[in-house]
Copies of this chain bind each other. A is one copy, B any other.
């Protein structure tokens, strides 16, 4: 904890300086760069454009940019070109190495970024990588914040995402002013890296509760209980959780959830396995004991090795359930 405090003080000093630089301009109608136009990045960019921002975009796969280009976004050839043409940049990429490459690679953001730029990463990555990028950005006179999201694809489309933001308190109002153009709840979690810390803790608990709910429902069904009845009991008792009352993993219990649609869409098993891997790494670095988090990680990893990485993570119910002999 002493190390965290020391780092926080250091951030405070640099952040104060940056605050003076950036506070001279407003985020409204800023030129926004967006890197990573996947399932999340595309609707987030469209929402920014609807709110009056001009957008400069880049994705390693040119076809990923077709939709936003059709809506008027300018297509750049690399992250450096995005940075040249933007005041605020958002990255939304699969993992830590992609984000580091987008910032610090040969044609990365930091090659051309203008001092005073505001940089947000909404990817789910290692909090320590976010801290490294904060330090590198700081040297260029820019302010970097981790701002991972919850709410998934539907939240991205509706503009109702929750952003968990890691930045000094003084910088938060500026972050909020901009992020509300893509989301509904903008939560300040603490210094840089803390948005990611909150996201990883939530997703670890999500992975655990989904596995636990699946175990409880499978056990109950095998003991002769009706899954809808048992879910109703759990949802009004002490076992109540989001995985049971909002995203039930047993087909037939709820409508409009992946379990009602052959586990298509939703939150992929390979993605939650990735998030649990990041949580495990953070637990090891901080000396935190996570027996259930670690076991859940291995279960979703096993599902991925068995070929179910593309299924929604609630497929763990089917994985635990006895299958037909092969």
Contact = CB atoms under 8 A, between A and B. Distances in A.
Name A's interface SS.
Answer: helix
B206 A238 contact: yes
B242 A240 contact: yes
Given A222-B288, A242-B241, A212 B322 contact: no
Interface in A214-240: 215-220, 222-226, 229-230, 233-234, 236-240
B239 A240 contact: no
Contacts of A283: 219
A290 interface: yes
B212 A208 contact: yes
Interface of A: 1, 4, 8, 127, 150, 162, 164, 185, 187, 189-191, 193-194, 197-198, 200-206, 208-209, 211-213, 215-220, 222-226, 229-230, 233-234, 236-244, 246-247, 279, 282-283, 286-293, 295-296, 299, 320, 322
Nearest to A150: B237
A244 to B, nearest CB: 7
A224 B194 contact: yes
B4 A224 contact: yes
19 contacts: A191-B224, A201-B216, A201-B217, A202-B216, A202-B234, A202-B237, A204-B212, A204-B215, A205-B213, A205-B241, A208-B211, A209-B241, A212-B212, A215-B288, A216-B293, A219-B290, A222-B288, A292-B292, A292-B296
Nearest to A290: B215
A298 B268 CA distance: 30
Contacts of A229: 187, 189-190, 198
A239 B189 contact: no
Nearest to A205: B239
Given A190-B225, A201-B225, A205-B216, 8 more contacts: A4-B224, A197-B220, A197-B224, A201-B219, A202-B216, A203-B238, A205-B215, A241-B241
Q: Which of A208, A226, A296, A299 has the most CB of B within 10 A?
A: A208
Contacts of A299: 291
Residue of A4, A220, A282, A322 with most partner-chain B CB within 10 A: A220
Contacts of A291: 211, 215, 295, 299, 320
Which 3 interchain pairs have the tightest Cβ spacing? A205-B239, A208-B212, A241-B241
Q: Which of A208, A212, A244 has the most C-beta atoms of chain B within 10 angstroms of its own C-beta?
A: A212
Contacts of A217: 201
Contacts of A150: 237-238
A226 to B, nearest CB: 7
Contacts of A322: 287
A123 B215 CA distance: 23
A271 to B, nearest CB: 13
Given A215-B208, A219-B204, A241-B240, A198 B230 contact: yes
Contacts of A236: 162, 185
A25 B48 CA distance: 71
A246 B238 CA distance: 9
A200 B217 CA distance: 11
